[in-house]
Amino acid sequence: DGALNYSPEMIAELYYKLNVYKNNFWLTPEYQFILHPAYNADRGPVNVFGIRAHIEF
């Protein structure tokens, strides 16, 4: 029938900030776990990995 199998979306995130060079450059690896993405019980779970960089001049 095309109806959405609704279920609440749940997200957990872990990250860690690493000081790579003095106090001018940081890397932050991250991990996200998403259960029922887009409120759809028929989808997921989804694992997302990422990295962020922060540079100060």
Confidence of residue 2 (pLDDT cuts 50, 70, 90): confident
Task: List pLDDT tens digits, range 4-54.
Answer: 899 999 999 999 999 999 889 999 999 999 999 999 999 889 999 999 999
Largest CA distance in the chain: 59
Q: What is the pTM of this model?
A: 0.76
**Is 3:22 a contact under the CB 8 Å cutoff?**
no
Whose structure tokens read 């690493």? Answer: 18
Of the candidates 3, 1, 14, the one whose C-alpha atom is nearest the C-alpha of residue 42 is 3
Ranges of each domain in the chain: 10-55
* pLDDT computed for residue 1 by the predictor: 59
Report pLDDT for 3: 83
| Three-state secondary structure call for residue 37 | helix
